A and B are shown apart, each in its own frame.
Chain A
């Protein structure tokens, strides 16, 4: 009996080995064994451990995922209109999309970053940049709404943005395209020496989060790619990667790839603050929009600003230094200690680690290799601390864990490589599917990373999902990095093209959630805070309807006296004060989106009736058992009719 059992055991063990062996082979082609799947499994009703804020890329939005499940919770509309939420369609949010070029319904959102206090993620705000028409947005992490958008003047392609300093003193915006400053009509071929590259420092009010364009450092006409803040010992500095130091305006794929080394620009922003405080700046005329959404009025306003303070780095020694870095560096990432600045030369096979200590020493002892447009270039040998040799092809972006390891994406060789900070040795590598751009470790751009998961954001998915015609989803991949080896545990599709992401423990954000807006604090000028305040007012052909909604009716729900040619403003207040009870509204033929109104909130849409008749409207959000009955009628009379204004609910 015993012997038989042992034999069975042996057979079982062999079978197990075989199964495990075949699974790990299948891993190459996509299948995962169940123990790996368990690690991303979050049971129904359970919460994820981390929030991930993943850029929506060319959707212009910000997507909110949970980790490790990869579940999508919400897409926050930021730079693009969103008919589902009425964003950019209702009167309250339209001003958010205003720019010096007029209203723009779209942008290309790139790099979310989270606010920090003492170098640690603090869960207050998320910042994200609009690349095409340079802007930075601030999203509240209580309401998950866009609260502010500031346009960046003298810039074009706001790419090296929106990264924050250690205490969220500043969020930065470095221009990708060099442009004439001020903009003017001139021959393109005169680019070299004439175009400028503005680096903007936007100050953040610590109480309100409000942004103010404090100053711009007006750099030579290089292209600025990414940026990262110094931390701990290097706090007070900001590092920007550059490409096209050749200053080419045409066929950049060749002409901007000629210099063996481009630069990482080190900006001493504390020094800049001193200069500004001493009045050592130039003020130049420009134009940019500053749009603020006020929670108490549930309404945004747009203000056009007219000038900006500018610093010329050639004039002020000590403000900017160049760190030579091979081959058009993309990422310039600062390790949690603040000592190393990692330049990922995207056309190279190796990464360069600059030492902040060596940089200070080189500056003090003037170990310079000439200058570029009056800005000192530090000797390459006197600032480099180490090189990660032949780690892969096309390094893009590096983040860090809390054990002194770094993780770099390689676009061309399509992999993530783990290496040791300080010894520069490669420890592990894992393939990505396919062509990874950026990666994210929660807190990975701070003093305190949470090195449990790594999200790789892929540009190409090809055969990874069920096909959907020529346009395919981009994809994120989740790796468990808690052990020595990185292990791929989950694929999940993303929206737009996620360029970048930020993450943090859910506990930093969950307790501060806005559940409802208090009706008592609703200061919207057109709010009706009870059924009794519901009414219609006519002013010429402008008609204002003060409407309320509560389960499951509108007040009023029968409206008469509206005429063809009127401009009817529906100001609709949701009187609910219970969590998760929004109502929506739209009316037949409205040339705009629905409104989707949160409890205690007021929103407005305009309806210009073109035809006589009796036209229905209804609640668009399934709010209750009697949701289907939440509806009403508007009678529209002829342009010259005498139908009196009349409104009612249930005959009252």
Chain B
């Protein structure tokens, strides 16, 4: 459980999400890594170059700073502390509560990400030089996919989780695993009270796991 919680620390080191743009003019694709506290180009000038291309259709620049970059690191820190504490306490139900919290926050974060993408892709400047319409005659939207691949004009946008997210999923999976392990141990130990001491030690090792 503790390891599971600590895996969230990976969110501070690795990107959570990535949006890659492929186009004929970009034999080496350009793109953006999304970290818990920043956007970063896959190559040094990618964000600048994405902004330059997108300004023709009236899209706003990718912001350098958004409120989420302040909030997410704090929430993550909180979840790590909670997770580690839960591990030490060793109450199996608390593991499940932690997992539930993670799912909740994850969903909120994904929804938030969706809202930003929606706004980024729809809120276009009135003065845009190039205005395309979709098949219904509505102004074309340039929203990147939440997850998966999508063709937007001459670009193919690929939106997928990255290392940070995978570490987080692994951490969450471990918390569930710890819950089931703990449950099994608990029923075993009640039947074999004479081995309580060894169980305690074992219990401790599971906490660490």
Binding site for B on A (CB under 8 A): 516, 550-551, 576-578, 624-626, 629
The reply to whether the CB of B49 lies closer than 8 angstroms to some CB of chain A is yes
The reply to whether the CB of B52 lies closer than 8 angstroms to some CB of chain A is yes
Nearest CB in chain A to that of B49: its residue: A578
18 pairs of residues in contact across A and B, judged by CB atoms under 8 Å:
A516-B45, A550-B52, A551-B52, A576-B52, A577-B44, A577-B45, A577-B48, A577-B49, A578-B45, A578-B48, A578-B49, A578-B52, A624-B56, A625-B56, A625-B130, A626-B56, A626-B129, A629-B129
- How distant is B200 from chain A, measured CB to nearest CB, in Å? 59
Contacts of B48 in A (CB 8 A): 577-578
Q: How far does the alpha carbon of A625 sit from the alpha carbon of B53 in the complex, in Å?
A: 10
Contacts of B44 in A (CB 8 A): 577
- How distant is B50 from chain A, measured CB to nearest CB, in Å? 10
Contacts of A577 in B (CB 8 A): 44-45, 48-49
Q: How far does the alpha carbon of A625 sit from the alpha carbon of B23 in the complex, in Å?
A: 15
Nearest CB in chain A to that of B44: its residue: A577
Q: How far does the alpha carbon of A577 sit from the alpha carbon of B130 in the complex, in Å?
A: 23
Q: How far does the alpha carbon of A550 sit from the alpha carbon of B130 in the complex, in Å?
A: 17
The B144-186 residues at the A interface (CB cut-off 8 A) are none
Contacts of A576 in B (CB 8 A): 52
The B79-130 residues at the A interface (CB cut-off 8 A) are 129-130
Contacts of A516 in B (CB 8 A): 45
Q: How far does the alpha carbon of A550 sit from the alpha carbon of B52 in the complex, in Å?
A: 8
Most buried by B among A516, A578, A625, A629: A578
Going nearest first, the 7 A-B pairs with the smallest beta carbon separation are A577-B45, A578-B49, A551-B52, A626-B129, A577-B48, A578-B45, A625-B56
- How distant is A320 from chain B, measured CB to nearest CB, in Å? 53
- How distant is A531 from chain B, measured CB to nearest CB, in Å? 13
Apart from A577-B45, A577-B48: 16 A-B pairs, beta carbons within 8 A: A516-B45, A550-B52, A551-B52, A576-B52, A577-B44, A577-B49, A578-B45, A578-B48, A578-B49, A578-B52, A624-B56, A625-B56, A625-B130, A626-B56, A626-B129, A629-B129
Most buried by A among B45, B48, B49, B129: B45
Q: How far does the alpha carbon of A551 sit from the alpha carbon of B52 in the complex, in Å?
A: 7
- How distant is B107 from chain A, measured CB to nearest CB, in Å? 37
Q: How far does the alpha carbon of A474 sit from the alpha carbon of B56 in the complex, in Å?
A: 46
- How distant is A52 from chain B, measured CB to nearest CB, in Å? 24
Q: How far does the alpha carbon of A576 sit from the alpha carbon of B51 in the complex, in Å?
A: 12
Contacts of A578 in B (CB 8 A): 45, 48-49, 52
- How distant is B61 from chain A, measured CB to nearest CB, in Å? 13
- How many chain B residues sit at the interface, stated as a range, is under 10
- How distant is A124 from chain B, measured CB to nearest CB, in Å? 24
Q: How far does the alpha carbon of A516 sit from the alpha carbon of B48 in the complex, in Å?
A: 14
- How distant is A530 from chain B, measured CB to nearest CB, in Å? 11
- How distant is B44 from chain A, measured CB to nearest CB, in Å? 7
The B123-146 residues at the A interface (CB cut-off 8 A) are 129-130
- How distant is A139 from chain B, measured CB to nearest CB, in Å? 26
- How distant is B62 from chain A, measured CB to nearest CB, in Å? 15
Q: How far does the alpha carbon of A576 sit from the alpha carbon of B49 in the complex, in Å?
A: 8
The B38-70 residues at the A interface (CB cut-off 8 A) are 44-45, 48-49, 52, 56
Q: How far does the alpha carbon of A332 sit from the alpha carbon of B153 in the complex, in Å?
A: 61
Contacts of B56 in A (CB 8 A): 624-626
- How distant is A454 from chain B, measured CB to nearest CB, in Å? 32
Q: How far does the alpha carbon of A629 sit from the alpha carbon of B127 in the complex, in Å?
A: 15
- How distant is A551 from chain B, measured CB to nearest CB, in Å? 5
Q: How far does the alpha carbon of A629 sit from the alpha carbon of B55 in the complex, in Å?
A: 15
Contacts of B129 in A (CB 8 A): 626, 629
- How distant is A625 from chain B, measured CB to nearest CB, in Å? 6
Contacts of A625 in B (CB 8 A): 56, 130
Nearest CB in chain B to that of A625: its residue: B56
Q: How far does the alpha carbon of A51 sit from the alpha carbon of B44 in the complex, in Å?
A: 29
Q: How far does the alpha carbon of A577 sit from the alpha carbon of B50 in the complex, in Å?
A: 11
- How distant is A629 from chain B, measured CB to nearest CB, in Å? 8
Nearest CB in chain B to that of A600: its residue: B45
Contacts of A550 in B (CB 8 A): 52
- How distant is A276 from chain B, measured CB to nearest CB, in Å? 46
Nearest CB in chain A to that of B53: its residue: A551
Q: How far does the alpha carbon of A578 sit from the alpha carbon of B56 in the complex, in Å?
A: 16
Q: How far does the alpha carbon of A626 sit from the alpha carbon of B52 in the complex, in Å?
A: 12
Nearest CB in chain B to that of A579: its residue: B28
Contacts of A551 in B (CB 8 A): 52
Nearest CB in chain A to that of B25: its residue: A580
Q: How far does the alpha carbon of A551 sit from the alpha carbon of B48 in the complex, in Å?
A: 11
Contacts of B49 in A (CB 8 A): 577-578
Nearest CB in chain A to that of B45: its residue: A577
Q: How far does the alpha carbon of A625 sit from the alpha carbon of B44 in the complex, in Å?
A: 24
Nearest CB in chain B to that of A518: its residue: B44
- How distant is A104 from chain B, measured CB to nearest CB, in Å? 39
Q: How far does the alpha carbon of A79 sit from the alpha carbon of B26 in the complex, in Å?
A: 35
- How distant is B203 from chain A, measured CB to nearest CB, in Å? 56
Q: How far does the alpha carbon of A550 sit from the alpha carbon of B53 in the complex, in Å?
A: 11
Most buried by A among B44, B52, B56, B130: B52
- How distant is B21 from chain A, measured CB to nearest CB, in Å? 13
Nearest CB in chain A to that of B28: its residue: A579
Q: How far does the alpha carbon of A347 sit from the alpha carbon of B44 in the complex, in Å?
A: 60
Contacts of B45 in A (CB 8 A): 516, 577-578
- How distant is A578 from chain B, measured CB to nearest CB, in Å? 5
Contacts of A624 in B (CB 8 A): 56
Q: How far does the alpha carbon of A576 sit from the alpha carbon of B48 in the complex, in Å?
A: 9
Nearest CB in chain B to that of A577: its residue: B45
- How distant is A624 from chain B, measured CB to nearest CB, in Å? 8
Nearest CB in chain B to that of A576: its residue: B52
- How distant is A574 from chain B, measured CB to nearest CB, in Å? 12
Nearest CB in chain B to that of A624: its residue: B56
- How distant is A180 from chain B, measured CB to nearest CB, in Å? 57
Q: How far does the alpha carbon of A629 sit from the alpha carbon of B129 in the complex, in Å?
A: 10
- How distant is B59 from chain A, measured CB to nearest CB, in Å? 14
